[in-house]
Amino acid sequence: MMGYLRTAVLMAAMTALFLGIGALLGGTGGAMIALVIALAMNAYTWWNSDRAVLRMHDARTASGPQGKALERLVHDMADRAGMPRPKVYILQNAQPNAFATGRNPENAAVAATTGLLTRLSEAEIAAVMAHELAHIRNHDTTIMTITATFAGAITMLANFAMFFGNNRNNSLGLIGTLALMVLAPLAAGLVQMAISRSREYEADRIGAEICGNPLWLASALERISGLAARIDNDSAERNPATAHMFIINPLHAHARDRLFSTHPDPANRIRALREMAGEQTQGLAGPWG
C-alpha cells in the first residue's frame, strides 16, 4: 500500500511540475500550444509505446525450441496468476536482462535477452519473468508510460520557455528562463526515476509470489547484477531512456549512466526477498519446482 501511495504522490508531483511551469511562463498562449503538442505526442506514445521499445531493442517474437519453452513458461505463469497472456519476445543480447512493456495488461509484452536464457537456471528465469508479469499486473508499464510522456511534455514546455520568454506575464527574466530550461527536465527525470525505483520492490514481492519462491528471484538478481556490470548492452546504451524498464539497470559503459539510478540497489532488493522467504511458514517449493 505504501508503494502505491508513494507512486501517487510522485505522479502528483510530476503533474504539479507540469502545471507550475505553465504558470511560470505566464501567458496562456504559449502554455496552451505546448500542451496541445504534448498531448498529441503523448497520445502517439501511449498507443505505440510497446512497439517502439521492442523495435529499439531489435526484439524478435519468441521462436525455436528455446523461445517456445520461454513462451510456455510465461503463459503458464500468467494463467496461474489469473492475468492475460502477454506476447513474448527475445533480444539477441549477451547481457542477462529482461523487461515488460505495453499500455495495459491486455496489450503487454515481455522480453528476455539470450544472455538471460543461457546464463541463468530455469528456476531463476521463471522468477525473472514472474517479476515482469508482476509489473504488468500492477499496471507499472502503464504508469511508466504516463510518467515518461509527462517527462517528455515537461521537457518540451521548458524548451518553449525561451520562445515565450519575452511574454509580459513571464516574471522569470532571462536567467530564470534559462534555469527553467535546464532544471525542469532534470526535476522531471528525477521524479520519473523515483517512481521507477518505488515500483521495483513491489514487483519483486508480487513476482516472488507468482513464481512461488522468493529465493529464486534473489538468486537471479544477484547473478544478473554481477553479469550486467561486466557485459555491455549496446541497445540500452543507445536508448538510455528505456533503462528503467529492465529488471536490473543495463547501463554501465558510459560515465553518464552513473549520474542517476533508475533502480534500487540490488543488494537491498535481494535482502528484502530473503527476508520474505524467511517469513514464510510453509515450504518454498513453487509450481515450477
Q: Write out the catalytic residue numbers.
A: 132
Q: ∠ CA 188-18-28 to the nearest 5 degrees?
A: 150
Q: Which three-class secondary structure state does DSSP give residue 58? A: coil
List the 87-91 sheet strands across, edge first: 60-61, 87-91, 108-113, 98-102
Is 75 annotated for ligand binding? Answer: no
HSE-CB of 149 using CA atoms within 13 angstroms: 20
Is 200 annotated for ligand binding? Answer: yes
Is 139 annotated for ligand binding? Answer: no
d(Cα 4, Cα 17) in Å, to the nearest integer?
20
Q: ∠ CA 128-133-137 to the nearest 5 degrees?
A: 150
The C-alpha cell at 16 is 504539479
* Binding positions for Zn(2+): 131, 135, 200
* Binding positions: 131, 135, 200
